Chains A and B, each alone.
Chain A
């Protein structure tokens, strides 16, 4: 091993040249890796913020930062939410898609490589603008991640932190729109010969619809953020009730973005799961056509359900009924997916290696998040638990139990392709069980404290409410979770050097990314392959029994 290392060091250019190469690259694989690295960096920052929040809530009437605790607490949950959604969730998924989509469709790069690089750097720049607020006199914004007016108004947020928040999201949003444009152009116009839209790997299909949602949902947020900045800087009156403006409009605009956003954060994960489960069950994806239609259905329905976040502002009854019904409708296509994944596993020869472990974790945890989501979609239930810890528990089950478990499944699955090395299974198991147990202990009890009436975003509580024990379990859970992330990062870094060589196709998989070397050459494929079925690599491996004989 030592000799291999020395050799590879001799071959590689000096470090300034390598850094320069990474900073100026337009290669979709390097950009994808940097997107994921950026997300991992912000995941750790957002995680530290979460730990501080949990530490403050461990005991009633505590003040871990002394006098400044209330303000600092508000700033922490604002940054935590904003970071996790905009600087972790979206970049990690866009990064994985960046790496994988061209490989999966047999293309040599994305359609617009320079736009791709621009997207990465604007995302990073947006994040830096947001965190620049730490250097300003008033500190970071204290407005919550959905930044309801009038909290963002000049009257209530006099410091520049709120402006930096708005500008940071604006800038990173432009990068996200660029990524959406790029994915659409790549997927629609650069597929390998023979790969019709009905034959794309399922992950690619979900990225297609994620991109559609990006194009429809992010620009309204951009417009709304511009209005915030105009209100604050030029004295416009959009959200300023004293002059006829409407805080209510902000809620509409924000959630018109915010609801599709949760699908931007979960549809690609549906794609990851739909790649992992078949390969590790040794069966084709059950009901590809239904899954594809369900993805489309979710993308469309998701554009018309935003006001389920707003029942408590007092919409008209008919409006409540419409939004409740429409929101419940989403459970049908999502249910189709759940059952199809189970049907894929049914009767398969399941391999319980790390990717599959996390995929199964995803199925179980996302199911819980989905079910509490159905509860919250019902307006009368929401009247009772809106803005309580029940909601916090719910969306962490979808975003950690759903998005993050799925991302881990994907990273364990594709890391060998990206690096040419396998990740450690032992460390993966430690990570999985610590994460699962810690996660359940952190977010399970929140449903209870929520039903007991604990509002979200309060910096402390009185001892006689019966909330103490649930908060203490949550905090202990967070402390159990924390090392799992460190194990993961350690695994990523250590395996880079010491992981066993992976070979081109360690999982005996069926999509095109496994047809090239690990890591793939800059041009991806020596020869652009011709595709005849949804599992092109199966066809190459089994010329006697190819899939295209059976697919319509």
Chain B
């Protein structure tokens, strides 16, 4: 009943794309808000110039960008039927995502405890924790979805013939990475 008719488009793919468009509008709003408040953010106390630990952020950014490459490899391996390569790349992606979240956790704890930057401290805090927080929440959801696919794959439910779920998760993951590129540029580069 639910298989698509002769049309080339798959409703599940269209649905995922549509969902990602709405997500883009959501993050666009948070990013626009950050830019709207750029001046008070720069002049506030604490401000982006001395609050952020750039090397740590660069490291976690590197992990997240790398994870886009690994999930791409995973999907390619899946389509070719290389089960172990798929599982390996997929698990690596998950680990990289978890490292990224760990980086965010470290960053937050140092910001809150050492720099006394909280969501209520000033506009930088309000904008930063909201934007980065919602991004991290999306990464967390992504990690959970990666884990679900991994479990299903270990039970041989994810196969070259049944790869759409994995592909859609990888779209979501690429999207979350893409959002991070913009967030990184705005929060750690432009705001300085």
From the candidates B4, B12, B119, name the one contacting A230 in the complex (CB within 8 A).
B119
Task: Check B25–A219 contact: CB distance below 8 A.
Answer: yes
Tell me, in angstroms, the Cα distance from A236 to B33 when the chains sit together.
13
Chain A proximity mask over B107-146: 1 for CB below 8 Å, otherwise 0 = 0000000000001101101110110000000000000000
* Cβ of A139 to closest chain B Cβ, rounded Å: 27
Task: Check A245–B123 contact: CB distance below 8 A.
Answer: yes
Interface residues of B in 1-37 (CB under 8 A from A): 1-2, 4-7, 9-15, 18-19, 21-23, 25-26, 28-30, 33, 36-37
Task: Check B18–A189 contact: CB distance below 8 A.
Answer: no
A455 interfacial contact with B, CB 8 Å: no
A353 interfacial contact with B, CB 8 Å: no
**Known contacts A185-B12, A191-B5, A215-B18: A230-B126 contact under CB 8 Å:** yes
Task: Check B11–A246 contact: CB distance below 8 A.
Answer: no
Task: Check A246–B36 contact: CB distance below 8 A.
Answer: yes
**Known contacts A189-B10, A223-B30: A181-B4 contact under CB 8 Å:** no
Task: Check A227–B14 contact: CB distance below 8 A.
Answer: no
**Known contacts A182-B15, A237-B120: A177-B22 contact under CB 8 Å:** yes
Task: Check A181–B18 contact: CB distance below 8 A.
Answer: yes
Interface residues on A, range: 35 or more
A188 interfacial contact with B, CB 8 Å: yes
Tell me, in angstroms, the Cα distance from A230 to B18 when the chains sit together.
27
* Cβ of A263 to closest chain B Cβ, rounded Å: 15
Task: Check A236–B119 contact: CB distance below 8 A.
Answer: yes
Residues on B with C-beta less than 8 A from A182 are 15
Tell me, in angstroms, the Cα distance from A112 to B15 when the chains sit together.
9
Task: Check A220–B28 contact: CB distance below 8 A.
Answer: yes
Chain B proximity mask over A214-252: 1 for CB below 8 Å, otherwise 0 = 111111101110110011001111100001111001001
| CB nearest neighbor in B for A238 | B126
* Cβ of B164 to closest chain A Cβ, rounded Å: 13
Task: Check B23–A219 contact: CB distance below 8 A.
Answer: yes
Tell me, in angstroms, the Cα distance from A532 to B2 when the chains sit together.
23
B40 interfacial contact with A, CB 8 Å: yes
A471 interfacial contact with B, CB 8 Å: no
* Cβ of A520 to closest chain B Cβ, rounded Å: 15
Task: Check B33–A249 contact: CB distance below 8 A.
Answer: yes
From the candidates B14, B26, B33, name the one contacting A238 in the complex (CB within 8 A).
B33
Residues on B with C-beta less than 8 A from A230 are 119, 126, 130
| CB nearest neighbor in A for B44 | A244
Residues on B with C-beta less than 8 A from A188 are 9, 11, 14
From the candidates B5, B11, B36, B122, name the one contacting A237 in the complex (CB within 8 A).
B122
From the candidates B7, B30, B120, name the one contacting A191 in the complex (CB within 8 A).
B7
From the candidates A189, A246, A256, name the one contacting B4 in the complex (CB within 8 A).
A189
Task: Check B26–A189 contact: CB distance below 8 A.
Answer: no
Tell me, in angstroms, the Cα distance from A381 to B30 when the chains sit together.
33
Task: Check B7–A189 contact: CB distance below 8 A.
Answer: yes
Interface residues of A in 154-187 (CB under 8 A from B): 177, 180-182, 184-186
Residues on B with C-beta less than 8 A from A246 are 36-37
**Known contacts A222-B26, A226-B130: A184-B122 contact under CB 8 Å:** no
* Cβ of A257 to closest chain B Cβ, rounded Å: 9
Tell me, in angstroms, the Cα distance from A550 to B22 when the chains sit together.
39
Tell me, in angstroms, the Cα distance from A472 to B13 when the chains sit together.
56
* Cβ of B180 to closest chain A Cβ, rounded Å: 17
| CB nearest neighbor in B for A253 | B29
Task: Check B21–A215 contact: CB distance below 8 A.
Answer: yes
A206 interfacial contact with B, CB 8 Å: no
Tell me, in angstroms, the Cα distance from A468 to B127 when the chains sit together.
48
* Cβ of B7 to closest chain A Cβ, rounded Å: 6
| CB nearest neighbor in A for B36 | A249
Tell me, in angstroms, the Cα distance from A245 to B19 when the chains sit together.
30
Residue among A112, A186, A216, A219 with the most chain B CB within 10 A? A219
Task: Check A181–B6 contact: CB distance below 8 A.
Answer: no
Tell me, in angstroms, the Cα distance from A130 to B126 when the chains sit together.
26
Tell me, in angstroms, the Cα distance from A253 to B26 when the chains sit together.
11
A192 interfacial contact with B, CB 8 Å: yes
Residues on A with C-beta less than 8 A from B125 are 236
A193 interfacial contact with B, CB 8 Å: yes
Task: Check B33–A185 contact: CB distance below 8 A.
Answer: no
A29 interfacial contact with B, CB 8 Å: no
* Cβ of A29 to closest chain B Cβ, rounded Å: 15
From the candidates B7, B11, B30, B123, name the one contacting A244 in the complex (CB within 8 A).
B123
Residues on B with C-beta less than 8 A from A218 are 22, 25
Task: Check B29–A224 contact: CB distance below 8 A.
Answer: yes
Residues on A with C-beta less than 8 A from B119 are 230, 234-236
Residues on A with C-beta less than 8 A from B5 are 190-193, 528
Task: Check A223–B29 contact: CB distance below 8 A.
Answer: yes
Residues on B with C-beta less than 8 A from A190 are 4-5, 7, 11
| CB nearest neighbor in B for A216 | B25
Residues on A with C-beta less than 8 A from B2 are 109
A442 interfacial contact with B, CB 8 Å: no
Residues on A with C-beta less than 8 A from B22 are 177, 180-181, 214-216, 218-219
* Cβ of A119 to closest chain B Cβ, rounded Å: 13
| CB nearest neighbor in A for B26 | A219
Residue among B23, B126, B127, B130 with the most chain A CB within 10 A? B126
Task: Check A236–B19 contact: CB distance below 8 A.
Answer: no
* Cβ of B144 to closest chain A Cβ, rounded Å: 18
A534 interfacial contact with B, CB 8 Å: no
Task: Check A235–B37 contact: CB distance below 8 A.
Answer: no
From the candidates B11, B23, B127, name the one contacting A111 in the complex (CB within 8 A).
B11
* Cβ of A315 to closest chain B Cβ, rounded Å: 14
Task: Check B126–A223 contact: CB distance below 8 A.
Answer: no
**Contacts A109-B1, A215-B25, A244-B44 known; 14 new A-B pairs at CB < 8 A:** A111-B15, A181-B19, A185-B14, A190-B4, A214-B22, A220-B29, A223-B26, A224-B29, A231-B126, A234-B119, A244-B40, A244-B123, A256-B29, A528-B5
27 contacts between A and B (CB under 8 A): A111-B12, A111-B14, A111-B15, A112-B15, A177-B22, A180-B18, A180-B22, A181-B18, A181-B19, A184-B18, A185-B18, A188-B14, A189-B14, A190-B4, A191-B7, A215-B22, A215-B25, A219-B26, A224-B29, A236-B120, A236-B126, A236-B130, A237-B123, A238-B33, A246-B36, A246-B37, A249-B33
Pairs of residues from A and B, 6 with the lowest C-beta to C-beta distance, nearest first: A235-B120, A111-B11, A219-B26, A236-B126, A185-B15, A223-B29
